[in-house]
Structure 1
Amino acid sequence: MTPLRVLPGLLRVGSVLLAYRLDELIGDGSRINPMKYLRPLAAKPRVDVRQLSRGERLRLAMTELGPIFVKAGQVLSTRRDLIPADIADELSLLQDQVEPFPGNEARAIIERELKSPIGLLYGQFDETPLASASIAQVHAAVLHDGSKVVVKVLRPGIDVRIARDVRLLKSLAELAQRWHPKADKIRPLEIVAEVEKMLENELDLQREGASASLLKRNFASGEDLYVPAVHWDFTTQRVLTLERVYGISADDIVAITAAGLDRKKLAAKGVRVFYEQVFRDNFFHADAHPGNIWVDPSRLDEPRFIALDFGIMGSLPETDQYFLAQNFIALFERDYARIAQLHVAAGWMPANMRLDELEAAIRTVCEPYFTRPLSQISLAELVVKLFRTAQRFELTLQPQLILLQKTLLNIEGVGRMLDPDIDIWAVAHPVLKRILRERYSPLRTLRDVRKRLPEWLHSAPQFPELMRDALRQIGRGEQRTVPDPQWLKLQHDSARQQQRLLACSLLGSSLMISAALMWTLAPQHGPLPPLCESIAGLLAFAVGWPRSR
């Protein structure tokens, strides 16, 4: 039963939904639509809804309902695996812009959080905000050392309002779960849980500062991506002080062209930065729309991007990251059988899936794309279609993969705005192969082994007991699950590859030490003796062989 405390909110939401005739989206006649009986009580629609698509009506309704519903709509727009494309496209246009709160209130919050008068904290502080959103607003300031900064301040009372609106969203999700004919596909309660988690993260500005700091460390050179520095002495959970940066919005093509920047080089860098964030660092900006991605106008020879707003960041479990990278490689190489195998091995598909049927479905989606020139193939569009096709085979996706899909769409969109002829495949394929070659190199494997060796040695005495318990369970018939043969084969192949890498790494290390000793003990240090040359050749082969696979 819906609590009485959310009843007024539900009535307000119901009135707006009816005003835009959104009750028509509840069902297709297969279930009762309880709201249609309330239509006579609804206000006259704000616009002529007969001229609007369902997506436009939903976007206008969410805008009218307020900031938290706008935020929920933005999250919903990323779930293209759950909602129709026309609705997702409309919801992606929602803008999180609201009236600013008074600057003197921002000043009071800053002084309370940083426990000092504003004059001691900043040499200058502008009470007129630079930007205002539903969660926080941003003010310009100057530190006493002359450094220009921006100060992000949470809205007063935003915690209470979000808690109230999340309760309302949960009540609405429960109603949708009960009445919507496709509730099992849309999973409204799961979507609200995503909204709640995202809002909780955005309410902690110290967390956002930590995300910015990590992203800056990952791109320390600043050659391709610049991240503003965090001023930790002026940062708390409700106040974030960042270095002030200046740039051109990535979608302002006229200004970028007028500045004399190389748009083709920028587009290629954008793709490269995306793959480095995801597969090299496993930490990516998950809200990379043009408003949060600027272009540095001061660097004409080597243009770069500037990242802003680090409230929504993504990362993947190591297993998902590995399988996703292998899926991309297989897609680039049109190896549809491997894509099917990888989906099952990753646990995204049931283990009893017929791989030949899945392979045929993937081929059906991909082959029409490969009849076009590679520069005209949208990798993001293809990935979305693959996910939708895989849904027919009971695909299970984690929220992190949905964030990644959204980011891929954003990055490719920015890249094609900058350079309509960009060949995403030609740029992405070598970058991904280089990253994977470095990530799974013999030296990297040796470092990982050395790091985990103490843990393995600590756990080793427990292995006999665990083995004995497992055998007893099997003997009593408590474990009879038979793994899928295809899954076992893929795991076996992967294990063999890792063993080869480790063996070659150990061999290479041994040969290197042997060569060094022989050269050191030689009567005089001259050219390498023939035996040492042979050892050096074997070393090069041992280290280089896995990389060429």
Structure 2
Amino acid sequence: MNLLWTILLGLINAVVVGVLVRRVITVGTGWVRNTVVSLVIGLSLWPITLQAFSILGITDHGAVPWVGLGFQAAMVFLLLYGWFIVVQMFVLLAIELVVPSGSFTTVARSASRLPTWYRRVRRLIQIQRILLKFGLGRYLRPRLPSLRLNRREIAKTTAEAFAAAGVTFVKLGQFIATRADMVPIEFVEEFSKLQSEVPPVPFAQLEPELVRAWGRPVDEVFAEFDTVPLAAASVAQVHRAVMFDGAEVVVKVQRPKLRRQVRADSDIVLTLAQQVERRAGWARKVGIVKLAAAFVDSLAAELDYRGEAAQTIALRRADIAHDDSLVRIPEVYTELSGPTVLVLERIEGVPLARAGTRLDRLSALARRDLAEQLFEIVARQVLTTGIFHADLHAGNIIIDGGGRAGLIDFGAVGRLDKRDRRDVAILLVAFEQQNSQAATSAVLDMLGAPVGVDVRELQRDVGQIMMQFQTAPGGYSALFSQLIEFFVDHGFAMPSTIATAFRAISTLEGSLKLLDPQLDLLDLVRAHGEGLLAETRSMSGAIEDAKLYAATTAPLFAEFPARVSRVVQHLEDGTLDIGTSGLGLDSIKELVRSLVDSLVQVVLSTALILGGVVMMAANFGPQLTSELKLFTYFGGWILLGGCTLAAIVLAPSLKNRSL
């Protein structure tokens, strides 16, 4: 019967102690852990009390727990009860220190992700084996004394490893090739050669994606659909189709399960970038983590074909006035396009890279006209409209049998605001006219002036590049490569938009050379530059800009006298506050108050603990029991109060700690 009463009252005590502890401290008192600890404490309270009574010489306790206790037994029991509460608080805080709240929930949630983690780790190991296979491990060491001498070797080997690692890493290499503002030119040149040639996916695997995108079978959308693709790449493949009205189109459809693989590989790219940046100084200098993050964002955007459709429409509208142009931009069938499917007007022909036979049948004058129109369209895109095809290599230019050209693949599109367009135009014309002062002004306006730059010395350096450009072969591609390297070496922070525009013009020059080997881009700039520059600084546009500027600044001038008056008033009152609005006087007061309160609590708890220990150690005063003196008893209460206050002070420090 006594045992039954002990268990029953122990359970009741567990509830009481648990509630008290949750009210005193709020950290680490979750229901599960608090209930378990409370049960252990509650069920052990009476047996331990009986043992304490025996040690202290108390024998006048009743047969039923807590019933019939004498004065001495009740006093000792109350002290033990308080200590059990304090012990439970410290036990819970110790558990919180070792196993923070929510750990079990996190573990349970993480268990469901184990298959994904397994695939990711397996893929990471596969990528690391590829890197080691190509001997890249030696380049991840913290010190590379011969890095400059081996840069070309590193770039070539890395490009080969990326090609072996799959689509995401091929795209990463192609992306790096566009960032000549951040990476050495050797990497740009080697990564520009990366191509992802893969066998096509059987149409049976693509058809469900098409049906899902259109909500109906393929034969209800098109009168004809060629299941054999016209072209296949690592991301998508292109099929020819015929609409019911007879119009020929191309259907660009993304490979199945590609996004899942790209997401997993993107995480690996970020992980590898962090590892490399920690280990190698050259990676920290390049900012490889930032570069990897920009790549992940750009790849995610590239895999959504709605962006490419919008960009194609924007470029087509910008050039719609030139219906008689020799260069065509395809029409987009927006009603049939979506995130993974893009339907475009078909431009018949072969890529410029393989159009040698067709070009040979054209006269030199026809090839020259086509090259000039292509240059004029792209130059107008860059300098006038501000949206331009950023990757016009020879594979993205189609030549038909009549000597006309078509532009395809608008996944890589650049954008320049009005001010940058004007600066790029001035820079091109300034190089043609050998005007280093105008070129330097355009550079400073585009990129800003680095700290401590000597503008006159900078102008001399730009003039030297101009002189080399006039006498050395290589064209604008060599010029822009040299300019980018020059800007980086002089500490300019080059925006990616400007670097993309430079790369677009450089890439276009290589394609124009295939159309007309005798073509000189400098002559085209000389012939069309002034007209394009005039478009960027037209009088009507300047007037409109001035009106807009006046409209935005007029209120500031109108408010200026009132603002000066308020400043003077604050000076007279002695209430002028300069640069402290972000601090907040109330928040400072609250911070100081909380620090003082915490300090007082720490000092008070320390004093109580020391006082309690001293009183217990003194062991003097009247006898409360045969083995316990009164001062020792009160010392136990004082020590209990100090420990309770210490637990209250300690609990908040565990709440937001970083593990």
One of 501, 520, 542 as aligned partner of 1:404? 501
Aligned to 1:263: 367
| 8 Å CA contact 1:205, 1:240 repeated in 2 | yes
One of 113, 125, 134 as aligned partner of 1:11? 125
Question: Residue 447 of structure 1: CA displacement?
Answer: 4.8
One of 54, 71, 75 as aligned partner of 2:175? 75
Aligned to 1:349: 449
Q: Name the aligned partner's letter for residue 538 of structure 2.
A: S
Q: Name the aligned partner's letter for residue 435 of structure 1.
A: L
Aligned to 1:293: 397
Question: Residue 95 of structure 1: CA displacement?
Answer: 0.9
- Matching of residue 131 in structure 1 with residue 231 in structure 2: yes
Aligned to 1:387: 484
SS in 2 for 1:394: coil
SS in 2 for 1:94: coil
One of 484, 504, 518 as aligned partner of 1:421? 518
SS in 2 for 1:311: coil
2:206, 2:283 → 1: CA distance?
A: 42
- Matching of residue 277 in structure 1 with residue 381 in structure 2: yes
Aligned to 1:499: none
One of 342, 345, 349 as aligned partner of 1:240? 342
Question: Residue 467 of structure 1: CA displacement?
Answer: 7.1
Cα deviations by residue, 1:87-139 (Å, 9 ceiling, x for unpaired): 32221111123232231232221221111222221111222222222222211
- Matching of residue 254 in structure 1 with residue 356 in structure 2: yes
SS in 2 for 1:260: coil
- Matching of residue 439 in structure 1 with residue 536 in structure 2: yes
Aligned to 1:316: 416
- Matching of residue 331 in structure 1 with residue 431 in structure 2: yes
| 8 Å CA contact 1:337, 1:355 repeated in 2 | no
SS in 2 for 1:17: helix
| 8 Å CA contact 1:235, 1:241 repeated in 2 | yes
Question: Residue 470 of structure 1: CA displacement?
Answer: 8.1
Q: 1:421 to 1:298 in 2, by over 3 A?
A: closer
Cα deviations by residue, 1:305-329 (Å, 9 ceiling, x for unpaired): 2100111111113222222222222
- Matching of residue 166 in structure 1 with residue 266 in structure 2: yes
Aligned to 1:66: 166
Unaligned regions of 5+ residues in structure 2, if any? 1-115, 580-659
Residues 446-525 of structure 1: pairs in structure 2 closer than 5 A: 446-448=543-545, 452=548, 456=551, 460-461=554-555, 463-465=557-559, 469=563
SS in 2 for 1:414: helix
Residue correspondences, number: 450
Aligned to 1:145: 245
| 8 Å CA contact 2:447, 2:494 repeated in 1 | no
Q: 1:460 to 1:369 in 2, by over 3 A?
A: closer
Q: 1:387 to 1:437 in 2, by over 3 A?
A: same
Cα deviations by residue, 1:252-303 (Å, 9 ceiling, x for unpaired): 352233332532333333322221110011111112111111123224xxxx
SS in 2 for 1:396: coil
Question: Residue 28 of structure 1: CA displacement?
Answer: 7.5
| 8 Å CA contact 1:349, 1:393 repeated in 2 | no
1:23, 1:258 → 2: CA distance?
A: 48
Q: 1:393 to 1:130 in 2, by over 3 A?
A: same
Question: Residue 442 of structure 1: CA displacement?
Answer: 2.0
Aligned to 2:611: none
> Structure 1 length as normaliser, TM-score?
0.75
Question: Residue 463 of structure 1: CA displacement?
Answer: 4.9
Cα deviations by residue, 1:338-384 (Å, 9 ceiling, x for unpaired): 32233223343326421022122222333233235xxx451221121
Aligned to 1:86: 186
Q: 1:255 to 1:394 in 2, by over 3 A?
A: same
SS in 2 for 1:164: helix
| 8 Å CA contact 1:224, 1:273 repeated in 2 | no
Q: 1:469 to 1:184 in 2, by over 3 A?
A: farther
2:319, 2:207 → 1: CA distance?
A: 33
1:269, 1:442 → 2: CA distance?
A: 26
Aligned to 2:653: none
2:501, 2:196 → 1: CA distance?
A: 21
One of 137, 143, 147 as aligned partner of 1:29? 143
2:508, 2:412 → 1: CA distance?
A: 15
Aligned to 1:533: none
Q: 1:385 to 1:153 in 2, by over 3 A?
A: same
CA RMSD in angstroms comes to: 3.0
1:473, 1:60 → 2: CA distance?
A: 65
Aligned to 1:37: none
1:411, 1:471 → 2: CA distance?
A: 58
One of 359, 374, 387 as aligned partner of 2:459? 359
| 8 Å CA contact 1:123, 1:143 repeated in 2 | yes
SS in 1 for 2:249: strand
2:525, 2:141 → 1: CA distance?
A: 42
Question: Residue 226 of structure 1: CA displacement?
Answer: 0.1
Q: 1:8 to 1:348 in 2, by over 3 A?
A: farther
2:338, 2:565 → 1: CA distance?
A: 54
| 8 Å CA contact 2:487, 2:494 repeated in 1 | no
Using CA pairs below 8 Å that are at least 6 residues apart, which structure has the higher relative contact order? 2
1:288, 1:57 → 2: CA distance?
A: 26
1:467, 1:406 → 2: CA distance?
A: 49
Q: 1:448 to 1:125 in 2, by over 3 A?
A: same
2:260, 2:393 → 1: CA distance?
A: 28
SS in 1 for 2:169: helix
| 8 Å CA contact 2:250, 2:343 repeated in 1 | yes
Q: Name the aligned partner's letter for residue 333 of structure 2.
A: H
Question: Residue 26 of structure 1: CA displacement?
Answer: 2.9
Q: Name the aligned partner's letter for residue 315 of structure 2.
A: L
- Matching of residue 117 in structure 1 with residue 217 in structure 2: yes
Q: Name the aligned partner's letter for residue 445 of structure 1.
A: A
SS in 1 for 2:270: helix
2:566, 2:458 → 1: CA distance?
A: 38
Aligned to 1:528: none
2:142, 2:273 → 1: CA distance?
A: 18
1:123, 1:253 → 2: CA distance?
A: 30
Q: Name the aligned partner's letter for residue 10 of structure 1.
A: L
Q: 1:59 to 1:351 in 2, by over 3 A?
A: closer
SS in 1 for 2:281: coil
SS in 2 for 1:338: helix
Q: Name the aligned partner's letter for residue 7 of structure 1.
A: V
One of 291, 294, 306 as aligned partner of 1:194? 294
Q: 1:158 to 1:386 in 2, by over 3 A?
A: same
Question: Residue 385 of structure 1: CA displacement?
Answer: 0.6
